[in-house]
Amino acid sequence: MILYLEKRGCNFSGNDDINNYSDIGNYRVCTTGYNIAGKDGNNYFIEFTRCDKRRFTNKRTGAPLKHYVIEHNHKLHVSTAYNNESGCYGNINLDSICYDLELDYTQKDILTAVNLISKDVYTSIEFTNWIFNNTLSDPPHGGLLKQGITWIS
């Protein structure tokens, strides 16, 4: 199954070292609506970004450091959200599980995170430039339109 991700951030700049670690090409990508059917029964919107893992204590002694140390500067950050009848919520447990896995900001590791959350199995990623159009009445997911032409469900 193809995971469609929308590019929401800027494309990587040529001199950023993320180019050495990531095959995403954009600093922020997300699902195109609440369309990831979770194993827990919720339909998720998921945003993926690059983040740093920082250490604030000495590894040997546990003493606080004057300046933090970046241990992983191309780490995958996952932010989930779902709606139900009482509102919109994040799932900090899923976000934390993905963070603790030490995943990289790569297509392979985004698929790992999504497959951890989803009841479906995703095998590849397609990046899109989808737009939201809530004025149209019959598209799925609140009005997702791909390239202004084709409805995607």
- How do residues 30-42 score in pLDDT, each as one tens digit? 998 788 999 999 9
Winning range, highest mean pLDDT, from 57-61, 70-74, 117-121, 136-140: 117-121
- Measured between alpha carbons, how far is 47 from 18 in angstroms, rounded to an integer? 18
Residue 130's pLDDT band (boundaries 50, 70, 90)?
Answer: low
Residue 46 has what pLDDT?
Answer: 96
Which has more pLDDT, 29 or 133? 29
Residue 147 has what pLDDT?
Answer: 43
C-beta of residue 3 within 8 angstroms of C-beta of residue 122: yes
Q: Where are the alpha helices (DSSP H) in the chain?
A: 92-100, 107-117
- Measured between alpha carbons, how far is 26 from 19 in angstroms, rounded to an integer? 10
- Note the pTM of the prediction, 2 decimals: 0.78
Q: Where are the alpha helices (DSSP H) in 10-151?
A: 92-100, 107-117
Give the range of the structural domain holding residue 90, as residue numbers without chain letter: 2-151
Q: How far is CA 78 from CA 68, 130, 148, in A?
A: 22, 20, 28
Which phi and psi angles does 40 have, rounded to 5°? -90, 5
How many independent structural domains does the chain possess?
Answer: 1
The answer, yes or no, to whether residue 9 has pLDDT greater than 80, is yes
Over residues 75-84, mean pLDDT: 92
